Chains A and B, each alone.
Chain A
Amino acid sequence: MSTLDAHIPEGPIAEKWTKHKAKIPLVSPANKRQIDVIVVGTGLAGSSAAASLAELGYNVKAFCFQDSPRRAHSIAAQGGINAAKNYQNDGDSTFRLFYDTIKGGDYRSREANVHRLAEVSASIIDQCVAQGVPFARDYGGQLDNRSFGGVQVSRTFYAKGQTGQQLLLGAYSALSRQVAKGRVQMFARHEMVELVVVDGKARGIIARDLVTGELERHSAHAVLLCTGGYGNVFYLSTNAMGSNVTAAWKAHRKGAFMANPCFTQIHPTCIPVSGHFQSKLTLMSESLRNDGRIWVPKKKEDAEAIRAGKLQAVQLAEEDRDYYLERRYPAFGNLVPRDVASRAAKERCDAGFGVNKTGEAVYLDFASAIERYGKEAAHVQGLHHPSAEKVRELGEAIVESKYGNLFQMYEKITAQDPYKTPMMIYPAVHYTMGGIWVDYNLMTTVPGLFALGEANFSDHGANRLGASALMQGLADGYFVAPYTVGTYLADDIRTGKISTELPEFVDAETAARQRMEGFLNNAGNTPVEVFHRELGKIMWDQCGMARNKEGLEKAIQDIRSLRERFYKEVKVPGKMHEMNPELDKAGRVADFLELGELMCLDALSREESCGGHFREEYQSEEGEAVRRDDEFAYVAAWEFADQDPGKAKLHKEQLVFENVKLITRSYK
């Protein structure tokens, strides 16, 4: 059946992609018109792929569960997108971006894929500018850059705090153009609920029209899953409410391996949890760490006084503050990678230095930046002895121009003014590096099924660097899949239309219908949300920022019994053939309840600490992660077995490092 060959082309790393592309068989335009492609998801990965494949001449059907492709969660990305343009002339290059990504990922990603990503990165920016994406520019009219964590160059392109929005609207406009031409048929408010596999190949999907509730059969010669990440398995995360694993999980159940599912990114700078009914967490972009300094009080008494509301952050003198990232990691300071910054925040809060009511928050302070920018601006304006107020005013204006919308967002949620008092932040689940296993061509272990964007596991190893997900989504969709999917389809030009009357379609539809009817007819009393919340708590406590054997084993038992209770006790109101968001949610939570167990299993079997995966048993005396390359330099790819997520079979893809040396990551 499925084998684990990554199909990495031969040759030196810098030539692999070029040579591989040159060998790709061409499909004539007339033949392309005979070929159907399904793209599930219209985020950066899906919109760009659908538009590009349609431009090439394939018949594309695109799906998303929101009311419009423009609302995919890529829209929420704030900080920026990386590209090795070296516009700042600070020594950036394709190799450096490649190197930074491998190192940032803690040596758990595949060299060949990452190098290709770095190679195509520059074209992404050209493409987006040509589409009219309004990136930030400097006074000379050139594109501006900022810096993100884990790197020492400025290679991040941005559009204020709305980079994802602008990039997605760019891809959406390309998609809309193809919809207008009739090359893409768009199915909004549709959710994929089954994958259809015929003779071992992905040949279609079953989708639920979320408005009418009807189940529909859609066939194609290839299916692309661009369905985003599964961070919502933790219930609270920075993902959108609808973000789910259902499409990926249904594919997993039909033969697609899940790779490194436990590799989760916990983002250090999010607005802390405030109450039980909280439904999601909000990110404060990493770009803020360019200018914000992170600290907690040096003395426990001060932290206690702050928590009790008797002391204000601004009243604390410089020498009573512990800028712990600057202290522990002088070379990278506040810009250490996310996993390192998150763990350091947890360490301080666990030690009793947290600064909000719950004790789970640290400060992100802009006072120094406001002063520095203010002085610079005064100098430029020729003010030689500006007053402190003037400096503040000028400084605040500059900080406003850089991060205005983020500050505003913060103020709306917390009712505090971050220009005057430091922000309070805490780590939260943000991104999933793990995902569907794909080979070099982004094809999964099911022939004809591809996975793009956050849904695959491909490029970020055990930790993703900031501003690299947008890059990867667009790289996959604009510049990789159009070639590699084409290669696969070259063999399909004589296949003809795939009939949706095939027994495989009938069976898949029946399975989906029975599942849904099962929920609706269940005699339970508990809303879906309750189970989701409970799962989230198990995952966060045992499979979050720190993990250990005992906790993971317990989590697996807890999830299994929660799953049992879910099927017995869940109550889903409403009917099948109508708009029924509770029914949609039940299906999604059912899949999270299976994925959660697999994540714990994966975390249990990886007896090392790397990137976002921190096993307490494997740490140095200073509390830094200890990687075990001799035994664990592999991708863990899990095959679904025996109708039980806990019985998944492990396959190992050994990682070979020929171009970077495996060394211990150090940001000191």
Chain B
Amino acid sequence: MKFTLNVWRQNGPQDKGRMETYQVDQVSDDMSFLEMIDVLNEQLIGQGVDPVVFDHDCREGICGMCSMFINGEAHGPGRGVTTCQLHMREFKDGDEITIEPFRAKAFPVIKDLMVDRSAFDRIIQAGGYVSVNTSGNLPDANATPIEKPDADAAFDAATCIGCGACVATCKNASAMLFTSAKVSQFALLPQGQVEAKDRVLHMVNQMDLEGFGNCTNTGACEVECPKGISIENIARMNREFLSASITSK
């Protein structure tokens, strides 16, 4: 297969950036999208052009590192996949493909397709944990039974990989889906109750400080989320936030 690629090139945060067009051939349909970029990069190195910089690591849809905006969609066409799980069989021979970074004010571009998502880490640092120290003397793991539906729902929320597709997709660049997934995980578990109020207040506050936009309930994030994180989590976080704001002094 052959493709025409329009790739965003930007030398650093200060650079204005521009689109460059490249041709790749030698692509087979069972290659992953990132393997196709590998082919492009080997080709560019051969031509003395700097290879395209992009984030990736696990290449199996779990680390959350890959982050390309492909033909106007975060992680490209296809539902429930990350960029690294996208395969070239999803495209037609000869297609033109446009590749951009995940764009948001809170995700500054580092280089080419690589962005800085450390804002997500800081949201977690603001309260995305249970305050328990390491100790060999904690209560037995089965001491508090947890109803299966709650445990399952907490798990579902906890499967967020922190990729940022929700932010890149949202026209307001809101981080509500990401933040609410973590808030929900703890809200659904007994272990999360003690700090529930502070958690939601601090995490939402941090989200605002980082420059993420407001949520206007378009639901676009849920559609593009590779892990199927549900916007019900946003509703749950809003309830948690409201009750925490009312009862906190």
Chain A interface residues toward B at CB < 8 A: 48, 51-52, 55, 66-71, 73, 75-76, 85, 87, 120, 123, 125-132, 134-143, 159-160, 162, 165-166, 169, 172-174, 176-177, 179-180, 186, 188, 211, 240-242, 274-275, 277-280, 282, 408-409, 412-413, 415, 478-479, 482, 525, 527, 529, 571, 573-574, 578-579, 581-582
Residue of A nearest to B63 (CB): A71
What are 26 A-B contacts defined by CB distance under 8 Å? A52-B133, A52-B134, A71-B58, A71-B162, A73-B58, A120-B136, A137-B146, A137-B151, A141-B147, A159-B155, A173-B128, A188-B121, A240-B63, A277-B28, A277-B35, A277-B38, A277-B39, A282-B59, A412-B81, A412-B87, A413-B87, A527-B45, A574-B50, A578-B12, A578-B111, A579-B53
The verdict on A134 contacting B59 (CB below 8 Å), with A176-B125, A479-B136, A571-B45 known, is no
Q: In the docked arrangement, what's the CA distance between A75 and B136, Å? A: 24
User: What 0/1 pattern do residues 106 to 148 of B give for CB contact below 8 A with A?
Assistant: 0000110010111011001110111111111011111001111
Q: In the docked arrangement, what's the CA distance between A240 and B118, Å? A: 20
Of A51, A120, A279, which contacts B35 at CB under 8 A? A279
Q: In the docked arrangement, what's the CA distance between A211 and B12, Å? A: 9
B63/A142 in contact, CB under 8 A: no
Considering only CB atoms and an 8 Å cut-off, how many residues of chain B contact the other chain? 76
Of B45, B46, B132, B151, which contacts A136 at CB under 8 A? B151
B46/A138 in contact, CB under 8 A: no
B154/A176 in contact, CB under 8 A: no
The verdict on A55 contacting B55 (CB below 8 Å), with A162-B159, A573-B50 known, is no
- Report the minimum CB–CB distance from B123 to chain A (whole Å): 9
Decide if B65 is an interface residue (CB 8 Å cutoff).
yes
- Please name all residues of chain B whose beta carbon is closer than 8 Å to the beta carbon of A120 when the two chains form the complex: 136
Q: In the docked arrangement, what's the CA distance between A136 and B152, Å? A: 7
- Report the minimum CB–CB distance from B48 to chain A (whole Å): 7
Decide if B77 is an interface residue (CB 8 Å cutoff).
no
Q: In the docked arrangement, what's the CA distance between A525 and B47, Å? A: 10
The verdict on A176 contacting B35 (CB below 8 Å), with A137-B146, A582-B45 known, is no
Residue of A nearest to B59 (CB): A280
A130/B139 in contact, CB under 8 A: yes
Q: In the docked arrangement, what's the CA distance between A70 and B159, Å? A: 12
B132/A162 in contact, CB under 8 A: no
- Please name all residues of chain A whose beta carbon is closer than 8 Å to the beta carbon of B138 when the two chains form the complex: 123, 126-127, 129-130
Of A130, A135, A277, which contacts B132 at CB under 8 A? A130
Q: In chain B, residues 146-176, which have Cβ atoms closer than 8 Å to a Cβ of chain A?
A: 146-148, 151-152, 154-155, 158-159, 161-162
- Further 11 A-B residue pairs, CB within 8 A, beyond A55-B133, A75-B64, A141-B151: A75-B63, A132-B192, A134-B151, A137-B148, A142-B145, A176-B121, A176-B125, A241-B58, A277-B35, A527-B42, A578-B12
Residue of B nearest to A582 (CB): B51
Interface majority SS (helix, strand, loop, mixed), chain B? loop
Chain B interface residues toward A at CB < 8 A: 12, 26, 28, 30-32, 34-35, 38-39, 42, 45-46, 48-51, 53, 55-65, 80-81, 85, 87, 89, 110-111, 114, 116-118, 120-121, 124-126, 128-136, 138-142, 145-148, 151-152, 154-155, 158-159, 161-162, 185-186, 189, 191-192
A177/B131 in contact, CB under 8 A: yes
Residue of B nearest to A210 (CB): B110
- Please name all residues of chain B whose beta carbon is closer than 8 Å to the beta carbon of A136 when the two chains form the complex: 151, 155
B65/A67 in contact, CB under 8 A: yes
Of A66, A134, A274, A571, which contacts B65 at CB under 8 A? A66
